[in-house]
Chains A and B, each alone.
Chain A
Amino acid sequence: MNETVREVLRRIGLATFVSAVLGFFSLPLLWLAFAPFDADPGISASLPEFTLHNFQLLMDNPYALASLRNSVLLAVGTAALVVTAAALAAYALSRVRVPGRDALLYVLLLLSSIITGTAAMVPIFLLAFNLHLVDSRLGVILVLTGGLLPAAIFLLKDFTDATPTSYEEAARVFGASPLQILRHVVVPVIRPGLATVTVWTVAQVWGDFLMPFLLLRDPDKAPASVIMYTFYTEGGQPDLPLISTFSLLYSLPVVLMYLFVSRRYGFRFHGGIKR
């Protein structure tokens, strides 16, 4: 009896918690749900005078859709580079002893907070200019990668540290090469970590305005984060019909990516190794 009461209370508590979380996280999103369909959206969320006209406006914009493709290119390129380089480095650093590696990693992490700040823009720009990386997507990808790598290595090393080495030893006995071991033994085990880092990297690149803005010249190469800023007037007032509608489209690819990654790779470890 007592047990049942506890169980009921537990369930009520859980339901309350989950509803509170749902409410808290969905409430601010209301504006995004209504404003794009509002004929005259304002700064506050209100039930719309329904229209799809804003989407028409957006389709007529010469840069809006192309910018989403550009964002995808930058995000995919950066994520591929960050995840590959970070996974290799994290694995090696986790398995081979280098004195002071953790301190060094943390110092790099601290330095990366300088690079993502605005104070570093002159050095970064001149560096890119002298490497002929201005107006090149590769340049943006490389600069962003440099800034994101320390945190990615930091995270992934954490995951590799936490996995047992016995399977690698076993695989080695059967004659697998280190790269094979990494691909077939380690990667499956740290998959949740890889998925986390991938989503994190994409989110960072997706929202980053400063670097693509400073490094790219041709508006045809500009990503969505930059094009988003063009929907303002001469005096700096936001064009809310365009901004709200674009915000919605701008968010969709990342949401889709999340759904894909979480379905395909999962953020959890369900492999059989540790059961």
Chain B
Amino acid sequence: MAPPTSPRADLGPPAPRDAGDDAAGLGRGRAAAFVAPALVLIAVFLVFPALWTLYLGTTDYRLTGIAASDPKFVGADNYGDVLGDGDFHRSLWLTLQFVVGSAVLGQTVLGFAIAWVMRDRRGLLRRLVEGLVLLAWILPGSVIAFLWIALLDRDGGTLNALLGTPGTAWLLDHPMACIVVFNIWRGTAFSMMLYGAAIGNVPPSHLETARLAGASTWQTLRDAVLPRIRGHVLTSLLLVSLWTFNDFTPFLITAGGPDGRSEIMSVYVYRTALGDGRLGFGAAISLIMILINLVIALLYLRALRDRSRKAAVA
């Protein structure tokens, strides 16, 4: 799947103490035994059906109808259809806005900010903040959809009541902004938890030193915190981007509308492929989405490596 040129050893968090030294004396045999359960589960329940799906992407396979009993090999036709579709281009552009706006800028920044502010607080306030943020993340999508429609509804919506703007149809006038804000609300918890844990792993002595040296918050973050959590930043960005890219919940709020103005990739797949039972076509889009995510991952890697080099110079 990965292009052979991918910088394999570099892909992944650049961990300073990445140990190849087998500290616990694991040895080859025991290491294999440790990895085996996960590997077997992944091979059977992930790799096998995933490859099968990718194979379906080269056929005109459908769930029902003649193409279900007798699917035909169509080679790269599905890919040609997708790449030549104007709706696909629009949807890709909207998805990039969605990922950059809600995942990269929104969730990551807000999640980090909350984790940072709450880092050495205890008690009710912290539980309240973390609990609320987490609630947004763990509630099932079908419940969430009702919540947000109730919030943004143009007639009886809570937001219009608060702002005194009755009749403003937020979901129709600003569909992309709505789903970006929605997804920030929905997914910040993950970044908050991850950065919370990561900040917890920064030795308190480092922070103490920075504080005694009179460093501003910004300087502390840049010099004491960021270098220690860079690996976590990459992990978080990779995961959150991938998940946001594939997120379907916005469909429940805007149905991709109005007129496709919030038709992000998952909704595009739903409309063109799955709603009509065109599984072959849907499978083809999955591969294209994977390749786009690979590109995004390489960009992150580059960005973070550059920063570490700059940091090393400074």
Contact = CB atoms under 8 A, between A and B. Distances in A.
Q: Do chains A and B touch in the complex (CB under 8 A)?
A: yes
A143 B45 contact: yes
Given A25-B133, A161-B231, A268 B56 contact: no
A48 interface: no
Contact of B26 (A32, A95, A120): A95
A111 B141 CA distance: 23
Nearest to B62: A122
B50 A120 contact: yes
Measured as residues with beta carbon below 8 angstroms from the partner, the interface class of chain A is 35 or more
Interface in B6-63: 6, 8-13, 15, 17-28, 30-32, 34-35, 37-39, 41-42, 44-50, 52-54, 56, 61, 63
Contact of A258 (B2, B31, B138, B155): B138
A2 B50 CA distance: 62
Contacts, number: 358
Chain A interface, >50% SS class: helix
A142 interface: yes
A106 B32 CA distance: 19
B48 to A, nearest CB: 7
B239 A151 contact: yes
B286 A119 contact: yes
A162 B17 contact: yes
B53 A119 contact: yes
A224 B140 CA distance: 10
B313 interface: no
A80 to B, nearest CB: 12
Measured as residues with beta carbon below 8 angstroms from the partner, the interface class of chain B is 35 or more
Contacts of B42: 108, 146, 149-150
Contacts of B117: 14, 17-18
Interface string B238-261: 110010011000000000000000
Given A45-B150, A112-B46, A275-B204, A21 B133 contact: yes
B38 A149 contact: yes
B132 A29 contact: yes
B38 A178 contact: no
A24 B273 CA distance: 35
Contacts of B125: 18
B220 interface: no
A91 interface: yes
A85 to B, nearest CB: 4
Given A118-B274, A146-B45, A162-B15, A178 B26 contact: yes
Contacts of B54: 114
B134 interface: yes
B45 A31 contact: no
B49 A123 contact: yes
Nearest to A229: B142
Contact of A110 (B13, B35, B273, B294): B294
15 contacts: A25-B135, A29-B136, A29-B147, A89-B39, A110-B1, A111-B50, A119-B53, A120-B49, A120-B283, A124-B45, A161-B231, A162-B17, A165-B21, A240-B146, A250-B140
Given A18-B129, A32-B143, A43-B149, 19 more contacts: A29-B135, A31-B146, A31-B150, A31-B158, A32-B139, A84-B37, A89-B35, A96-B20, A107-B2, A112-B46, A112-B50, A113-B286, A118-B274, A146-B41, A161-B15, A162-B228, A199-B134, A267-B196, A274-B203
Interface of B: 1-2, 6, 8-13, 15, 17-28, 30-32, 34-35, 37-39, 41-42, 44-50, 52-54, 56, 61, 63, 110, 113-114, 117, 125, 127-144, 146-151, 153, 155-159, 162, 185, 190, 193-194, 196-198, 200-201, 203-205, 228, 231-232, 235, 238-239, 242, 245-246, 266, 269-270, 273-274, 279, 282-283, 285-287, 289-290, 293-294, 297
